[in-house]
Amino acid sequence: MSGGAAPSRVLEITLPEWVDQVVDWNRRYADDESRVRLAIALSRENVERRTGGPFGAAVFESATGTLIGVGVNCVERLANAVLHAEVVAIMFAQRRVGSFTLAGPGAPARELVSSCEPCAMCLGATLWSGVERLVFAADRADASALAFDEGPVFPESYAYLEQRGVRVERDLLRAEAAGVLALYRERGGLIYNR
């Protein structure tokens, strides 16, 4: 790298083109199961279309099930280690509500639903996002079985979130989400943080 001209000050993050074929933006996702199924559908589609790692996430209004934003893992496609599914879902949800917090004054409670347990980075992002609830399907053990590293997450990490009002619900439809991880392995998908 030789220095020289200043690099561009603009960086673009794009969801895959297929997203709007998979996501029904008008649907109310009434219960946890339908919300987790959407996150898992996004993760599976990301594997089958070969657009990234086996992870999907979405942000909902907790009470109504209105969908606010979705994310899939974009690490390899966009050459960006930060773009885990949860981070992407939070970014797009905040862009949609026009605020750096999903817990702004007068805003309805919102929640993050992920196909897999968040890594250390995404757990931090969850805390800063302003969601009041985190729901995930596959867990750390399932991701680790694939040699995906989850980073420095400890029982105290979850206690820290709970103390700040973020409730955590784990292992919903775990087997189904773990199946997508297995599919990714079968297809020889890249383990980008091994």
- Write each residue from 65 to 84 as x if it is in contact with a copy of itself (CB under 8 A), else as -, in one continuous string: -xxxx-----xx-xxxxx--
Tell me how far apart the alpha carbons of residues 131 and 59 are, in angstroms, rounded to a whole number: 8
Residue 6 interacts with a copy of itself (CB under 8 A): yes or no: yes
Among positions 34, 139, 176, 193, the unique one binding a copy of itself when judged by CB under 8 A: 193
**Judged by CB under 8 A, which stretch of 31-39, 116-124, 137-145, 180-188 contacts a copy of itself?**
116-124
Residue 92 interacts with a copy of itself (CB under 8 A): yes or no: yes
Q: How many CB atoms lie within 10 A of CB 83?
A: 21
Q: Which residues pair with 67 in a beta bridge?
A: 60
Restricting to residues 46-65, which ones interact with a copy of itself according to CB under 8 A?
61
Q: Which amino acid is at 26?
A: N
**Judged by CB under 8 A, which stretch of 23-31, 37-45, 170-178, 180-188 contacts a copy of itself?**
23-31
Q: Which residues contact 154 (CB under 8 A, 6 or more apart)?
A: none
DSSP symbol at 61:
E
The residue behind tokens 């775990």 is 174
State both tokens at 7: 């690099």
Given a contact cutoff of 8 angstroms between Cβ atoms, the answer to whether 47 and 187 are in contact is yes
**Judged by CB under 8 A, which stretch of 42-50, 136-144, 147-155, 178-186 contacts a copy of itself?**
147-155
Residue 34 interacts with a copy of itself (CB under 8 A): yes or no: no
Given a contact cutoff of 8 angstroms between Cβ atoms, the answer to whether 150 and 120 are in contact is yes
Among positions 51, 114, 115, 129, the unique one binding a copy of itself when judged by CB under 8 A: 129
With respect to a copy of itself, which residue has the nearer C-beta, 124 or 179?
Answer: 124
Q: How many CB atoms lie within 10 A of CB 30?
A: 10
Kind of pairing, strands 133-138 and 110-116? parallel
Greatest Cα pair distance, the chain, in angstroms, is: 54
Among positions 48, 49, 139, 160, the unique one binding a copy of itself when judged by CB under 8 A: 160
Residues that bind a copy of itself (CB under 8 A): 1-7, 9-17, 19-20, 23, 25-28, 61, 66-69, 75-76, 78-82, 87, 90-92, 94-101, 119-125, 127-130, 149, 151-152, 154, 156-157, 160-161, 164, 192-193
